[in-house]
Amino acid sequence: MWIEPTGIPSRLNNLKKLFIANVPMNWDTFWIFTLFAAAPYLQSLHVHFDNNSEKPSAAGSVLDVQVEQPQHQHLRELVVIGFDGAAWQTGFVKRIMRASRWLGRVHLLDGHVVEDKERELVGLEIVPHRREWHECERLEVLEELTDGTGFPIHKIILE
């Protein structure tokens, strides 16, 4: 379903899985939080940030936008594709983690999404790059993500 990045007129109570693909790096992510807030029974959230788009500006910070932040008791999985450890990306992930106390797994990977033209909308496939994180860089990102969230490091997959 195509949804414009504006206010959601009603709750998306039946939405269990959400895959948002090809989000340009220069877009503000407030509308993803609007969708997140409108889907209280969401179990799986996958977001793909398109690393081939323009880099975000400082004004595009997700922390500057106030969006209703309900507690999600059903979200079990968060996957962020195109994750490179930038501050705005860790802020995005931390905000989801804080709202989802029952979150079982966070998978952050540098990669992209390709489309299978024969399968149309259902033909999206995640292609990981298998980034080689330096140990100090990995620890810095993991510490930033777990600081203030109470989320255990061993439940975060960073690749």
Q: What is the mean pLDDT of residues 12-39?
A: 86
Has residue 156 got a pLDDT over 90?
A: yes
31, part of any domain: yes
pLDDT of residue 67: 47
3, part of any domain: no
5, part of any domain: no
pLDDT of residue 126: 67
- In angstroms, rounded to a whole number, what is the distance separating the alpha carbons of residues 90 and 108? 10
**pLDDT above 90 as % of the chain:** 41
- In angstroms, rounded to a whole number, what is the distance separating the alpha carbons of residues 70 and 54? 31
pLDDT of residue 119: 55
9, part of any domain: no
pTM: 0.81
Domain membership of residue 24 as a residue range = 17-55+65-158
Q: What is the mean pLDDT of residues 111-115?
A: 72
Q: Say how many domains are in the chain.
A: 1
105, part of any domain: yes
Q: Which of 43-57, 94-108, 115-129, 141-155 has the lowest mean pLDDT?
A: 115-129
11, part of any domain: no
Q: How far apart are the first and last CA of the chain?
A: 29
